[in-house]
Structure 1
Amino acid sequence: MPPIAVRRARPDDVEAIVQMLADDQLGATRDSPTDLEPYLRAFETIAGDPNQLLVVATSNDQPIATLQLTLIPGLARRGALRGQIEAVRVHRDHRGSGLGAQLMQWAIDESRRRGCNLVQLTSDTTRASAHRFYEHLGFVPSHTGFKLHL
């Protein structure tokens, strides 16, 4: 696969991003591109925060993959900055092509460039194939996560 072009997402990318979010087993139950208003409000908040990078990988300037990289400052680990990767999605027509690995490598490199000394992510416990993918990239399942829905 040729190298991908990664850029910050723009408002006109939101629909394509939401379609990728909704096009999987979990996203289908919680995301829908039929009403973009809440997503556009969230996009404005993300775009206005310098510690948030919502990006798309593009082909002919059309989004074909996405992820969100959050830079988290903290006191732990001697004041380390961490990169948190979330919402990794690849358009169904490009899955299995190596695009996901290229986008993840971009996020790792960007985290390093911005001074992070750790990159972390979460993944739903039901996503066994995603876990294998992340482990293949060198990620280690080191913690147990908890959520409280409000």
Structure 2
Amino acid sequence: MNLIYRNAEEGDLSKLIEMLADDQLGADREDSSTPVNQAYIDALKVISDDPNNELIVAERSENSETYIIGMLQLTYIPYLTYKGSWRCLIEGVRVHKDHRSKGYGKQLFEWSIKRAKVRGCNIVQLTSNKQRSDAIRFYNDLGFKASHEGFKLMIED
């Protein structure tokens, strides 16, 4: 089934936060309370106002109803390396638990890679928490290679 891709809107936030919080790692770091935490609204505004960022939702239609089934963020980054190339960083990838293992994740990535090409990128990169073994297997199956070691530093107040 084909998906519809669009930029996220403020009205999508509760559904997106629900997907971000729906696993062992996200449950502790996200805030699913209502009303939506202002920090999410502020972040969406910054992302939406930045021409090098896109928070994308994937929807499917069924019986005249449209459902958000997935999301990810694309960040376009200029580099000096590779002769001044552009890269696309994919982050915050989620497919709703009711729609996993149906090919939607693959469609979402195929669309994202095409989008990166349209934006002039010659590298698509992502990170995944080492505890997400299913996600890592999925990325490997899509052709991504674990060619680099990634590092993160959490900055606390």
TM-score, with length taken from structure 1: 0.96
**How far did residue 36 of structure 1 move?**
2.4
Structure 2 residue runs of 5 or longer lacking an equivalent are none
Choose which of 96, 99, 116 in structure 1 pairs with 2:121: 116
Which of 91, 96, 121 pairs up with 2:96? 91
Do the aligned residues in 2 keep the contact of 1:4 with 1:58 (CA within 8 Å)? yes
Are the counterparts in 2 of residues 82 and 116 from structure 1 also a CA contact under 8 Å? yes
Stretch deviating more after TM superposition (24-33 or 14-23): 24-33
1:74 matched to 2:79? The reply is: yes
* Structure 2 counterpart of 1:32: 31
| TM-superposed deviation, 1:67 | 0.3
Match of 2:154 in 1: 149
Aligned position for 2:4? 5
Q: 1:68 touches 1:85 (CA, 8 Å); kept in 2?
A: yes
Aligned residue type for 2:44: F
Number of residues of Structure 1 aligned to a counterpart in Structure 2: 149
The amino acid of 2:132's aligned partner reads R
8 A Cα contact 1:15 1:36, kept in partner: no
Larger Rg: 2
Q: Does 1:65 align with 2:65?
A: no
Tell me the residue number matched to 1:139: 144
User: What's the CA shift for 1:92?
Assistant: 0.7
Matched ranges for 1:119-130 at <5 A: 119-130=124-135
Alignment check: 8 A CA contact 1:46 1:54 kept: yes
CA shift, 1:32, in A, is 2.0
Unmatched 5+ stretches in structure 1:
none
CA distance in 2, matches of 1:79, 1:41: 31
Contact 1:54-1:66 within 8 A present in 2 as well: yes
TM-superposed deviation, 1:148:
1.1
**Distance in 1 between residues matched to 2:77 and 2:13, nearest whole Å:** 24
Judge which range, 59-68 or 93-102, deviates more.
59-68
The range that moved more, 130-139 or 32-41, is 32-41
Q: C-alpha separation between the residues in 2 aligned to 1:49 and 1:113?
A: 17
When the two chains are superposed, the root-mean-square deviation of aligned CA atoms in Å is 0.9
CA deviation string 1:30-64 (max 9, x = no partner): 01221421111100000000000100001243311
